[in-house]
Structure 1
Amino acid sequence: MGAVFQLCSEYQCRTQKERNKLLVMGTEAAEKAMMAAGAVKALDLRWLKPNSIETERILSVLDETIAKLELSSLIPRIIGSLDRFADLLGPEITTNLMEYQKLSKQMEQLLVAAEEEDTTNLHLLGQHLKCCVRNILRLLLAIPSLCKALKHEVWAREPATEAFIKAFGEFRNFMLERLLTSPTEEEETVRLMEDISLRINRNTETITALQAELAAAIRTRDEEIQNKDNMIKDLKNSMEVLDECCKNNILQVKWEGEKQQKEELQASQARCARLQQDIQQLEAQLNKQVLEHRASESALRKRKCRVETEILNWIQAYDTDMAEKQAEFEEVHAAYTKEKAELSLLMEKHAVLLQEYSQIEEERRVNEEKKKQALEKLAVMTLAATRIQAFWRGYLIRSTFKPKKKKKGKGKGKGKDKKEKK
């Protein structure tokens, strides 16, 4: 990591020197040079590929470092939403994240204290924090799908972190460019930069000459402006002369206008007289039409009164019908309420009877089971008595036949007894 940061600083120093050099050479020419260098770099990064195992290993290390930087920058955001990601992360990662949060708080407390006596503790705490981050990154990188899901979350990184990751990416591209550039290509690049410098110098000389031409053109323009100012003064004098002529023309036009106004006034008075006669004729026609309209209005008013009377009759008839319907409805509603109360009473009685019927059925079932058990017991006892009687009869029959057998074999039995005594 120390070598990586050293290379990063070297890259930043080099880019800063190149920018300062380009700024000294001239803004416009510098922009062109940067565009050319950017085009060469883009072509190198896009089309060239690593040509050795060492180059591939270096690039893989840099890419892995960028991925770890991106993941490590997401750790505070993940801790902020730990409840939402607890099931996705698993217990081991969650435990390490909580340990990281605890160590971070301790580190912040030590940094706020900023005492010299806590330097050792701060160093040890920093080591523990690094180990915790390594464990978290190791566990996260072991699950590529989890890393992909976390990167797809819309999280805004801090500006400093985003700038560092971007700078590290530029450093990776710079390293790729350095690794892909051979000594010959580097010499060609130096020659190209020298050619660009010569072009910039030539362009600077051209700009100086153009600035001189511009100054001459400005002087020529000032002279032309002075000539035009003189022409404007002459035109103003001629305009004053024209103004006096226009005043005389205005007076003549005004006199002619007053004369025309008098003639038009006389014509308008004659026209007003004719219009007054037309107005009188129209007023007579209006009075006649008013009389006609008043007669039609009185007829319409009578019709309106008749219609209103009919409407009132209809309304009264409607109110009477509605009153009758309302009375009928109230009567039906009262009957319905009464029947409903009777129905509820019957339902309660039915429920009581149903409960009693259920109890009676249960008692019947129990009695039937008892009867069935008694019958079964009686059948068992009858079967047992039958068997006992049969056994007894057999015993009686056997006992009646046994004495006869003993009498027949009595002598033989005695002989056997004598032999056994001997």
Structure 2
Amino acid sequence: MDAISSGTLQSPSTFSESSKTGSSRSGTSTANTEKDRDLTKDNVASPIDLECHIQTERITKILDEAIYKTKLALCLPKLVQEYRTLTSVLSRQHMDDLTFIFEQYDNPLFSTSLLNMAAMEDLKAGDISLKNRLNPELGHLLYIMNSYPALKDKVEEMIQEMKLEYEETRETKPVNALEYLLTFEHFRDLMVTQMNTTAAEELAAKINTRKLEASNEKLIGKIKEYSTSLKEESERFEETLALKSDIIDKLEHELALLNQDANIKLKKKILDSDRQMVLATRAHAVKNEMLKEEEIEVREAYESLLRTHLIDEKNQRARRFKVETQLLSWLQKYDLEMGDKQVELDEFTEKYEDEVQKCEELEAKLAEQDKEYIPLMAEREAEYHQEMMEKMTKFLIEHAARVIQSAWREVLANRAEKKRLKKLQKKMQAATVIAEKKGGGKK
């Protein structure tokens, strides 16, 4: 009660704004964008929308505060171990309250409260469950620590470290408290997204889900059809696999027979190679003796050749010395002559640079002339192209007229031929009729 009466404590409503960013999820970004809109202005939103916005802010504040209190409860053991951080932030009176509460939590038998007296009776009776280590002053402890915003950064750092350790050792060492915090934060994000979605968006999502369900049913039917066909194909595959296994057994039997034949042939070849090796070793022994005799002869020839080469080397060294002296004299002569030639070269380079400058001036003049010459040539090319196109069109018209005339002549000739053929057919029919009449009269 002394701690509540002190002036350093803050109410939960004043701290809700500072604990609003307690969730480390990305859902806070959507809430911030919603806050940017000023719903108090005219012609912006209806009173119902304004009330909904106020209620969403109220719910998010409550959830953020609950998440921060959960984080405080998780970090409470580490904060107790790090006594210096608490003493640097909390006041002395609050620290005395906290130490008193810690001592009650560690030793409930020494507490003077009525609840702890009941817990002491339970402990005497042999009940040592978790309920006997709780007392109502732990809520007051959280209230004191919640009233200091300076602890927030330290709590967030501890939670981040705990999350990293939990990600590394999730499979081996699951932590129920961190899982509860993560699910609570996920619930907060879901609530924010649900409150930010409009009725039209929710209706559109339901329609999309119904469409997806219909398509899912069709896909399930196709999956069933494909599964039946897959079973049939697997049965066929097993049959073919059995046939192939029989063929493999036959081939392995044949391979064993071939291995036996190969072993017999290999033994015969080994015996033949042993005989050949014995003969070859005898021949190599004879050849080795012959090579030793040749070695003696070659060494004598080598010594005589070495003597002659030493004599030649002395002669070559004398000639080399003579050539080097001649080369030095030629180099000195070359240096003297090149001094005179360098002067001539400088004169020629000056003349060359003058000629190059003149050429550049001529090129500039030619470029100026090309500015007038190129358009004239383009006009002349266009006129020539137009004249050739006119000649081509005239030639095509005359050629088309000739083709049409020849085709018309052929049509007239075909018509005349058809008339002539019709006249011949009529004459032939008349002749046949007259012949038939004559034949009938004779009968």
TM-score by length of 1: 0.45
Q: Which structure's CA Rg is the greater one?
A: 1
Q: Give the structure with the higher percent helix.
A: 1
TM-score by length of 2: 0.43
Task: Specify which structure has the bigger relative contact order, considering alpha-carbon pairs within 8 angstroms and separated by 6 or more residues.
Answer: 1
